[in-house]
Amino acid sequence: MFKGLFQRPVRSMPSAVTLKTDGLDMTNIPKHVAIIMDGNGRWAKAQGKARTYGHKAGAETLKTIVRAADTLGIKAITAYAFSTENWKRPVTEVHFIMELLSRYLTSEIEDFKANNVQVRFMGSREGLPAIVNEKMDHAIDETKNDTGIILNLAINYGGQAEILHAVRSIAQQVANGTLNVEDIDAPVFENNLYSKGLPSPDLMIRTGGDLRVSNFLLWQIAYSEIWTTPVYWPDFSPDMLIEAIKVYQSRERRFGGLVQK
């Protein structure tokens, strides 16, 4: 499918990155960073290229950022690769992104393993091409014992759909008699989300200039610090990640409480 669109194979994960960490507090690195990788299409258009060119460049940027994040000590990255709303895009673009994901999961698997990256996914598997589902299962299986950074890819993901999925699952457990209504609390709810087992993001980054959440991690970002940049995702760099973390470190996180002075 769409073979001609790919002139070259997706490159492998960049090896060691030199990071400018001056001024960064290495004792206060966010554990989990969520990223809305927006602006691929506009980045490509600005160069007179097809939007798909931007997605391909965006996949490269993700590799660079995962590597940098790992070096900085970030424990997990959740990246919004395809939303439940992205199906509304032209069928050629949807096919391209699915093909890109499929190729990415093949071309990167050895690098993930070599770099101890554990791959996870969040989102609905329904409606995804069988080959993408197979590659996702394979990536999970191949990297499940890796103990380094977690790369959690949100694919066919929507925050509202995730909450509905959790509600249905909890309702089913109540109907089965395996859960009492009075035992439903935040930890139980979180155990029924796709993000089960991951802490809430400390920091959410959105590239591309828009100031909205776009149905990403609606439950999980309750107390996440948000940092945005007008820079399009393919131009996002490790230096910008460091800048975002510095801003994060300058924020006072109160989680609704008061900070003792």
Active site residues: 38, 86
Q: Please identify, using beta-carbon distances, which residue of 123 and 208 lies nearer to ligand FPP.
A: 208
CA 19/CA 22 separation, integer angstroms: 9
How many Cβ atoms are within 10 Å of 183's Cβ, its own excluded?
11
Which H/E stretch holds residue 163? helix 159-176
Q: Please identify, using beta-carbon distances, which residue of 66 and 170 lies nearer to ligand FPP.
A: 66
The secondary structure of residue 68, as a DSSP letter, is H
Q: Please identify, using beta-carbon distances, which residue of 192 and 194 lies nearer to ligand FPP.
A: 194
Query: In the structure encoding, which two tokens stand for residue 195, read together?
Result: 């993000």
Q: How many residues does the chain have?
A: 261
Backbone CA torsion sign across 100, 105, 110, 113: positive
- Please state the closest distance from residue 32 (CB atom) to ligand FPP, in A: 18
- Please state the closest distance from residue 121 (CB atom) to ligand FPP, in A: 10
> Cα separations (Å) of 174 from 80, 167, 186, 188, 199?
31, 11, 16, 12, 25
CA 91/CA 222 separation, integer angstroms: 34
Contact set with ligand FPP (CB under 6 A): 37-42, 55, 58-59, 62, 81-82, 86, 97, 100-101, 104, 153, 208, 233
Q: Please identify, using beta-carbon distances, which residue of 6 and 189 lies nearer to ligand FPP.
A: 6
- Please state the closest distance from residue 234 (CB atom) to ligand FPP, in A: 8
Cβ atoms of 217 and 34 closer than 8 Å: yes
- Please state the closest distance from residue 243 (CB atom) to ligand FPP, in A: 20
Q: Please identify, using beta-carbon distances, which residue of 153 and 226 lies nearer to ligand FPP.
A: 153
CA 251/CA 248 separation, integer angstroms: 5
- Amino acid code (one letter) for 208: G
- Please state the closest distance from residue 202 (CB atom) to ligand FPP, in A: 22
CA 4/CA 99 separation, integer angstroms: 12
Cβ atoms of 217 and 195 closer than 8 Å: yes
CA triplet 22, 23, 24: central angle to 5 degrees? 95
- Please state the closest distance from residue 249 (CB atom) to ligand FPP, in A: 26
